[in-house]
Structure 1
């Protein structure tokens, strides 16, 4: 065998024994461009004795002459909570012309078991949520401080809505029943109506009889909660019975069950359904 073949074979054998060389380092990425979907602010609150972080999403045509937009006040609306999720649903629905564009105001949670619950006399509730009972003050913050702040910064708008799920859904229902003038529309998804031995649903008939719901809309949804959270379903059933027994004058309400969803999966499909139901645009005319 020629010597140059022997030499090449030897070199190849040595190469197999050596560790593979690392590839050359990749070029450092450029700075790129940020993807911005909103802005975050600290809103001072005398009622809550401190600042609360509020995240704001503005639709693409915000600022266009003559345009007014619904404002969706989102409980649990922090960047690490539901702000990105709900703004995404609102944006994609409007982008395809299914619904109106809307402003989303996400209120970041601090101690949601405090802020979203009324006082409870249940020992189980107090053990699970020892800081509970701050809903009245939190509601005052939303109505007396945050809504004026939004109006001052973003001008006149269309209908206002309050949306929440679980304990936030409980807060939404309580607001609709006991301070119906706070918002125009209420979206409560799998509300935790088990709270305080289902007191809110037990008192719903009396609350509804007080009136004040003219021109309001209440959109309710419930996952398949019967097996894990039967008290939650019982509370919803009692609330629906009260609405059916004496429909409040001027209130438009609906209930949409989601039997294929759990408490952990209902929020996205139900929120999309609510946005489509309440803020639907008329169908486009053929050829338009």
Structure 2
């Protein structure tokens, strides 16, 4: 029995009341899958959060948002909550959120580098192609055979995960329908990835949309983001750019995830204007 004791202000014991113990039950937000990955050569956790209506509408199919850095102690709870709230208000579509856990982020999220200083500091860096193969051959097939997925899939990442999203957009655009990169670390390896953008963006990117948000620090040294944006504009590809000098690398993810979800997971009909969900892309 749980005993709650109450004391008078004069510190005189006035009595103890016996209350029944509160009933307990776990709060479940999704399922975690342990994948013995051939691509990575190790076990990896993939978390799946379903929309509230999933069990109630057995004929319905849902878009999927794949989240890089999607471990339970990483960005999963934040992004899954934003997606659910956005759907409640009609700002974005209901979606299945798939969180892909990362472990060694510089090993998994960046491509090869020849920079001796980077290799000295981060000797494991450079295996992003293996992580992409993991998504392509193991994660996506698992999700698509297990859940009622729709035609649209999107991927979202911030910082180094955002860099991985941009690299995937440039190298394997058919992997997802929409790409979201919030303040991607385009500075990595002396801005090497952005220098390849003009030669990589081509007809394969037709219909693949990109959400790109850049914070204060990179706007102060904008060459990398400008190369990427120029390559996309030259091909007339769908994109939404948000250049936010009022936000820093530490604040932009929390602030702009709702806008990213709105662009990556568009609702079937626009939300009411009175709600104020205007997506003011810089390039519009």
Q: TM-score range by the shorter chain?
A: 0.7 to 0.9
Q: Which range moved further: 233-242 or 258-267?
A: 233-242
Q: Paired residues, what number? A: 262
Q: What are the within-5 Å matches in structure 2 for residues 17-166 of structure 1?
A: 24=16, 29-63=21-55, 64-166=57-159
Larger radius of gyration: 1
Q: What is the TM-score of this pair, normalised by structure 1?
A: 0.83
Between Structure 1 and Structure 2, which shows a larger proportion of strand residues?
2
TM-superposed CA distance for 1:147, in Å, is 0.5
Q: Are 1:247 and 2:247 counterparts?
A: no
Among candidates 260, 264, 267, match of residue 278 of structure 1: 264
The separation in 1 between residues aligned to 2:186 and 2:33, in whole angstroms, is 32
- The answer as to whether partners of 2:217 and 2:248 remain within 8 angstroms in 1 is yes
The separation in 2 between residues aligned to 1:216 and 1:267, in whole angstroms, is 22
Determine the structure 2 residue equivalent to 1:11.
none
Any idea what the Cα deviations from partners look like across 1:123-143, whole Å, max 9, x if unmatched? 332233221011000000000
Q: What are the within-5 Å matches in structure 2 for residues 222-241 of structure 1?
A: 222-226=214-218, 233-241=222-230
Q: Which runs of 5+ in 2 are unaligned?
A: 1-9, 273-284
- The answer as to whether partners of 1:125 and 1:195 remain within 8 angstroms in 2 is no
TM-superposed CA distance for 1:98, in Å, is 2.0
Q: Are 1:261 and 2:247 counterparts?
A: yes
For residues 159 and 73 of structure 1, do their structure 2 counterparts lie closer, same or farther at Cα, with a shift above 3 Å needed? Answer: same
For residues 123 and 24 of structure 1, do their structure 2 counterparts lie closer, same or farther at Cα, with a shift above 3 Å needed? Answer: farther
The separation in 1 between residues aligned to 2:120 and 2:17, in whole angstroms, is 56
The separation in 1 between residues aligned to 2:95 and 2:81, in whole angstroms, is 11
The separation in 2 between residues aligned to 1:25 and 1:125, in whole angstroms, is 64
The separation in 2 between residues aligned to 1:191 and 1:279, in whole angstroms, is 20
The separation in 2 between residues aligned to 1:166 and 1:130, in whole angstroms, is 20
Any idea what the Cα deviations from partners look like across 1:141-160, whole Å, max 9, x if unmatched? 00011110111111442311
Question: What root-mean-square deviation, in Å, do the aligned CA atoms of Structure 1 and Structure 2 show?
Answer: 2.4
Q: Which range moved further: 251-260 or 183-192?
A: 251-260
The separation in 1 between residues aligned to 2:168 and 2:266, in whole angstroms, is 24
The separation in 1 between residues aligned to 2:112 and 2:18, in whole angstroms, is 59
- The answer as to whether partners of 1:76 and 1:108 remain within 8 angstroms in 2 is yes
The separation in 2 between residues aligned to 1:262 and 1:51, in whole angstroms, is 34
The separation in 2 between residues aligned to 1:129 and 1:20, in whole angstroms, is 63
TM-superposed CA distance for 1:35, in Å, is 1.9
- The answer as to whether partners of 1:120 and 1:195 remain within 8 angstroms in 2 is no
Determine the structure 1 residue equivalent to 2:7.
none
Determine the structure 2 residue equivalent to 1:7.
none
For residues 26 and 212 of structure 1, do their structure 2 counterparts lie closer, same or farther at Cα, with a shift above 3 Å needed? Answer: farther
Q: What is the TM-score of this pair, normalised by structure 2?
A: 0.85
Any idea what the Cα deviations from partners look like across 1:32-65, whole Å, max 9, x if unmatched? 2222211111022111112210111000121414
The separation in 1 between residues aligned to 2:169 and 2:198, in whole angstroms, is 13
Find runs of 4+ consecutive structure 1 residues off by over 6 angstroms. Answer: 19-23
The separation in 1 between residues aligned to 2:86 and 2:175, in whole angstroms, is 26
- The answer as to whether partners of 1:93 and 1:99 remain within 8 angstroms in 2 is yes
The separation in 2 between residues aligned to 1:175 and 1:283, in whole angstroms, is 29
Q: Which runs of 5+ in 1 are unaligned?
A: 1-15
